[in-house]
Amino acid sequence: MRRRILLLLALAVSTQSLTAQTPLQLSFADAVRLASGQAPPVALATLRSDEADARVRQARAALLPSLSLSAFWLNRTFNSKSLGIEFPNIPTNPPTPAVPVLVGPFDNYDARVTAGQTLLDWSSVVRVRAANAQANGSRAERGVTVETAALSAALGYLRAVRGQAAVLARQADSTIAAELVALAQAQKAAGVSAAIDVTRARTQLVTSEGLLLVARNQLDRARIELTRALGLEAATRLTLTDTLAAVLGAADVPVQRDSAVAAALAQRPDLKAELAHAGAARQTGAAIRAERLPRLALGADYGVNGPTMPRSIATRDITLQVSVPILDGFRREARLAEQDAVVRESEVRERDLRQQIVADVEGALLDLHSANAQQVVAAEQLRLAADELSQSRQRFKAGVAGNIEVINAQSSLIRARDADIDARFAAASARVSLARAAGVARTLH
C-alpha cells in the first residue's frame, strides 16, 4: 500500500510538472482579447462600473416605498416636578392622595409598522438621472481602460515577436559566420589565404554569438513584459504563433483621413466618458435647482400600545406632508455655481479632446504611410545586402579578394536585417496606433 501511495504521488507531481512546463500558445488576437477581458486594470474598471450601478439603485430608493417594523417594552419612573409643574395639596372631602413626586414604575408595550412613500420629489427624480449619467460615464471609463489594456498587450506582443525576429536574424548571422570561418580555414589550408583571414572570420563569429545572447535576453524580457500586460504570472511560458507579417496589427479602420477622423470621434471611449461626465454634471445641477420645488410625502403608522400586552389597543396615524424649502443660507446657490464650473470645465476638456483625437488620427496615418514606404526600402536593402554577401563569398573562394570584403558584406547584411525588422515593427506599431486613435484597439487582430 505504501508503494502504491508513493507511486500515485510521484505520478501527480510529474503530471503537475508537465502541466506547468506546457507553454501557452498565444496569437496576437488572443493576446488583445485576453487583455481586454481579464487584465487587472480592466477588472478594477469593471468593479468601479458595478459600484456606479449600485449608486443608481441607491438614488432610486428615495422614490420607492419604505417599510419598517419596531417593537419595544418600556419600564420607567420619572420625577413629576421635572415637568415644571407643582401639584399643590388641595384639601378635599373625602381627602384624596397627593400627586407623588416619584411616578412609577410602570410598563409600556408597543409594536408598530411604519410605512412611507414619496409622492412628489422632482429633485430625487433628477438625481436618479444624474446617477444614471455617472454610471454611463463609469462604463465609458471602463472602455478607456479596455482600450489601454488592449494597446499595452498589442505593443507588448509586437515587441516580443520583434525579439523573436531578432533572435532568428542573429542565429542566421552566426550560421553565416561559422561558414565563413570554415571557408577561411579551407582557403588557408589550400595556401590561397592568409592567417589574418581566419582571425577576422573568428572575430566576426564571436561578435555574432555575442549579439545572439543580447537578442535572446531582450526576447525574454519582452515576454515577461507581455505576461504582465496580460495579467499572467511572469514565469508563464509563452509560444507566440504570429510573426511580424504585413497584416499583423490590422483592425477595421478606414485609411482615408476624413473617414478615420469621423470614426474616431464616434468611437473613442475617452470622448464618450467626457460627454457622460458633462451630462452627469448638468443633471446634478438640475437636481440642485429642483430642490426649490415642493416635496410631497405620505406616511403611515399602525401598531398596538398599552401598559400590558392583554390591555394593548390599536393605534394609528396617517401623515401627508408638504415641505417647501425657502432659504438654506445660500448653500444651494453655491452648489449650483460649483456644478456650473464643473460643466464649463468639462466643455473645455471636450473641445481639447476632439482636437487631440484629430491629431492622433492624422499622426497615425502619417506614421503608417511612412512605415509602409520604409518597409519597401528595407526589403530592397536586405535583398541587395544578401546579393553583396553572395558575390563577396564567391570572390573569396576564387582567391580574387581577401575575406575583408566578406566581413564587410556580412556587416551590411546584419544592418539590413535589423533595418527590415525595424521597418516591419514600425509598420505594425503604426497600424496599432491607428486603431488606438480610432478607439478600436480591442478589435486588433
| Residue 300 pLDDT | 95
The CA radius of gyration of the chain, in Å to the nearest whole number, is 40
How many Cα atoms sit within 13 Å of 61 on the Cβ side?
A: 9
| Residue 186 pLDDT | 85
Q: Is residue 222 part of a domain?
A: yes
| Residue 96 pLDDT | 64
> Domain containing 379: what range?
24-63+122-292+331-443
Q: How many CB atoms lie within 10 A of CB 249?
A: 27
| Residue 312 pLDDT | 87
Q: Tens digit of pLDDT for each residue in 228-270?
A: 999 888 888 889 999 888 888 888 888 788 989 999 999 999 9
Q: Tens digit of pLDDT for each residue in 186-219?
A: 888 887 777 888 888 888 889 889 999 999 999 9
| Residue 99 pLDDT | 67
Q: Is residue 1 part of a domain?
A: no
Crossing angle of helices 122-189 and 269-290, in 10° steps, is 160
| Residue 84 pLDDT | 73
Q: Is residue 86 part of a domain?
A: no
Q: Can you say how many angstroms the Cα of residue 335 is from the centroid of all Cα atoms in its chain?
A: 32
| Residue 89 pLDDT | 65
Integer Cα distance of 230 and 228 in angstroms:
5
Q: Is residue 237 part of a domain?
A: yes
Q: Is residue 12 part of a domain?
A: no
Q: Is residue 321 part of a domain?
A: no
Q: Is residue 79 part of a domain?
A: no
| Residue 255 pLDDT | 79
Q: Which residues contact 257 (CB under 8 A, 6 or more apart)?
A: 361, 362, 365
- Amino acid identity of 68? S
Length of the chain: 445
Q: What is the CATH number of the domain that holds 147?
A: 1.20.1600.10
Q: 391: helix, coil or strand?
A: helix
CA-nearest of 354, 360, 166 to 278 is 354
| Residue 246 pLDDT | 81
| Residue 20 pLDDT | 47
Q: Is residue 174 part of a domain?
A: yes
Crossing angle of helices 257-267 and 331-397, in 10° steps, is 130
Which residue positions in the chain have pLDDT lower than 70?
1-21, 85, 87-99
- Total structural domains in the chain? 1
| Residue 138 pLDDT | 92
